[in-house]
Structure 1
Amino acid sequence: MNNKAASAPAPHRTDHLVAAAAWVETPLQLLSVLEAHHTGGFARHTRVLPRSGSGALDATVAAVTAAGLPDGVDVLPSGTTPTLYRENTDTWFVGDAFSGQVQRALLRGGVREYVVVDDGLATVHLLRLLTRRVAVPLERARVRSTPARLALGLATAVRLRAAARAGRLTVFTVLPLPDGLRRDAAAVGIRVVEHDFAWLRALPGAAAPAENRVVLGSAMVRDGLLHAGPYLDWVLGHASDEPVVYYPHRREDARTLEPLNADPRIRVASHGLPAELGLRGLRDRHRVVSLPSTAVTSLRVLLGRHGVAVEAAEVPESWWTGQAAPGLRAHLSIFVTDEKDSR
């Protein structure tokens, strides 16, 4: 992937009162909306409504607010539903296009610009669905939807494909999209804009951990995709070489965290911020190791210029459970690239 900063996208409107609304449910969605607004290419004023009930999202909101939000951004008190999408704004930032609440809002809303921001692997899955020859329901991978949700997902796909044909759908991403998928997106009218976390990189540097080796945690054990035993052995193997700081995934549970907390060679970080925010202070003495994840790409973009090695290990076949479909395993392989080649 070319990690050079994309030039700021040209605004779709010239009116200086262009306003945007965003409903964010994860820290990455929030960071992505802030980066998109920072380019100046989508809106002059963006109001962000975080979903309530997520400690990690609350911590991220507090951290970015303390650091100083981009000019023109207001982050509202958290709520349980995407009520901002009921207002007559010019642009909607969309984090989770598979959410039933978001899909219903998209169908109720009138004509406007849509900017899809990163939501992990779901962003790539969404693009693949929207670029099919015919419209297919927008449903999450590995989920069996009810007939009602399939109908809702199909109607949403039709709405977004129509927006793409009219030049009103943009995907704003830091992910290494396959060339074929980029071509397919362009063919149906979807504009893809890359970014390199320009706003986040401009923030004052964060404190760096004393440990030289950082292991990024994964939620794949919690999600039933990986067996816990080999995963823990992999982490402990790194700790056998030198002291390790383990940066847990926000959805990890006791199956992985309790054994790691009990090992004196491992310090489990506890502040709850996304890796992109909490690890931006790493420098060339640090080495980051991870299983395939979107955070690998994000950290390479953020830290490559500081000489930080960010490595993604391939997952051996024996680690996978029966719930990990071959398509998912292949999907994750886009994040296993040589670290030097990714700069």
Structure 2
Amino acid sequence: MSSSVIWAESPLQLLSAVEAHRAGLCGPCTEARLRAGAPSLETTAAEIERLGVPAGLRMAGSAPRPVRPAEDGVWVIGDAFSGAVQRGLVAPGRCRLVIVDDGLATIHLLELLTTSRPKALVRARARPGPARRALGLAAWGRLRAAASAGRLTVCTALPISAELRDAVRGLGAAVHVHDFPWLRGRPAAEAPPQRLVVLGSSLVRNGLVHRDRYLAWVRSLAAAEPLQYRPHRRESPDVLDELRADPRISVVETGVPVEISLRGLTAEHRVVSLPSTALTSLRLMLRSTGTRIEGVPVPPDWWTDAADPGLRDHLSLFLDGLEIAT
């Protein structure tokens, strides 16, 4: 087995892991394993290979469960809230760990890890039972122990505050900040013919935003000028059906992250999105192009009762042009 193993469960995790390998955070030989049953992951892996993977990295196909490296290897993971990943974390072994970006959940993870008292690593809106909570507590302990032993690195492009960054480093973990240098070095993608690009959101499907308000917003943008709509990978199919029926809206599904598919945007383009980690990554990717990237706050009457104030505050991190503290 390679000295390093990437376990990717989403396209963003895979892309972030490629950047981690390129930065030298893994061993000289790294294999990327993809969670089985995720077509968007396979499409993203194929596109990364087409672009030319960094030396020493190999796309090793899918697997039904997390694959760990040998004892002296490096395990690159994105979703530390996954039960399957946590069972891997608490298994015997002292391999080095690299945590890569997995959207908003990454910041939540770091906040939990830096608390003074043990906190079960469970998703923000989850209601775990006793067994699941016990596993989350054990995973918290293993990650803290890895940090204390100098075996934990966080590789991120997210807007983490200086206070949180310092707290993570205070645990003994390393923090590596990147701005997608490998991806920015690839040939530019073809630019969309529409000048306005709207990034889709999973907030409707997750029950956090009212569907009718969201659709009315997208249609209001299309009333001003034709637009290209890039769906979120977990977007509601019925929302997409509604948008496809509007001749002013071109719904384009590429199967790869927008960081890859929109890297050809120019100063003539404008990107509009509700709060999303893609706002941060696209600002990094396109900072030299002059592309306007606009984050739109969610109006108060759009939220459903399922969206608690803490979640709303967290999402605001991705609205402004805040860059991660180094």
Using the size of structure 1 for normalisation, the TM-score is 0.91
RMSD of aligned C-alpha atoms? 1.5
Query: Do 1:86 and 1:105's aligned partners in 2 also have CA atoms closer than 8 Å?
Result: no
Give the alignment partner of residue 169 of structure 1, picking from 145, 149, 152. Answer: 152
Query: Do 1:226 and 1:319's aligned partners in 2 also have CA atoms closer than 8 Å?
Result: yes
Give the alignment partner of residue 26 of structure 2, picking from 42, 53, 75. Answer: 42
With over 3 angstroms needed to count, the CA separation of the structure-2 counterparts of 1:239 and 1:342, relative to structure 1, is farther
Amino acid at match of 1:58: E
The equivalent of 2:103 in structure 1 is 120
The equivalent of 1:33 in structure 2 is 17
Q: Select between 306-315 and 89-98 the one with higher mean Cα deviation.
A: 89-98
Q: Select between 179-188 and 128-137 the one with higher mean Cα deviation.
A: 179-188
The equivalent of 2:265 in structure 1 is 282
Query: Do 1:51 and 1:81's aligned partners in 2 also have CA atoms closer than 8 Å?
Result: yes
Give the alignment partner of residue 298 of structure 1, picking from 264, 281, 287. Answer: 281
Give the alignment partner of residue 196 of structure 2, picking from 195, 205, 213. Answer: 213
Q: 1:109: Cα distance to partner?
A: 3.7
SS of 1:43's partner is coil
Query: Do 1:86 and 1:109's aligned partners in 2 also have CA atoms closer than 8 Å?
Result: no
Give the alignment partner of residue 237 of structure 1, picking from 220, 224, 249. Answer: 220
With over 3 angstroms needed to count, the CA separation of the structure-2 counterparts of 1:128 and 1:330, relative to structure 1, is same
With over 3 angstroms needed to count, the CA separation of the structure-2 counterparts of 1:127 and 1:312, relative to structure 1, is same
Unaligned runs of 5+ in 2: none
Using the size of structure 2 for normalisation, the TM-score is 0.96
Aligned-partner Cα distance in 2 for 1:39–1:109: 28
SS of 2:219's partner is helix
The equivalent of 2:57 in structure 1 is 73
Aligned-partner Cα distance in 1 for 2:53–2:143: 29
Query: Do 1:244 and 1:267's aligned partners in 2 also have CA atoms closer than 8 Å?
Result: yes
The equivalent of 1:311 in structure 2 is 294
SS of 2:288's partner is helix
Aligned-partner Cα distance in 2 for 1:91–1:342: 28
Aligned-partner Cα distance in 2 for 1:176–1:128: 13
Q: Matched residues, percent identical?
A: 49
Q: 1:158: Cα distance to partner?
A: 0.5
| Runs ≥4 residues deviating over 3 A | 86-89
Question: How many residues were matched structurally?
Answer: 324
Unaligned runs of 5+ in 1: 1-16
Q: 1:42: Cα distance to partner?
A: 2.9
Deviation per CA, 1:18-75: give whole Å up to 9, x if none: 8211110100000011001011243211111001111211111111111111110111
Deviation per CA, 1:267-314: give whole Å up to 9, x if none: 000222111111111111100000011000000000111111111011
Give the alignment partner of residue 56 of structure 1, picking from 40, 53, 56. Answer: 40
Give the alignment partner of residue 75 of structure 2, picking from 89, 92, 99. Answer: 92
The equivalent of 1:192 in structure 2 is 175
Query: Do 2:71 and 2:95's aligned partners in 1 also have CA atoms closer than 8 Å?
Result: no
Aligned-partner Cα distance in 1 for 2:84–2:65: 7
Q: 1:165: Cα distance to partner?
A: 1.1
Query: Do 1:21 and 1:89's aligned partners in 2 also have CA atoms closer than 8 Å?
Result: no
Aligned-partner Cα distance in 2 for 1:141–1:30: 22
Q: 1:86: Cα distance to partner?
A: 5.8
2:168 paired with 1:204: no
Deviation per CA, 1:201-250: give whole Å up to 9, x if none: 11111111000000000010000000011111111111111110000000
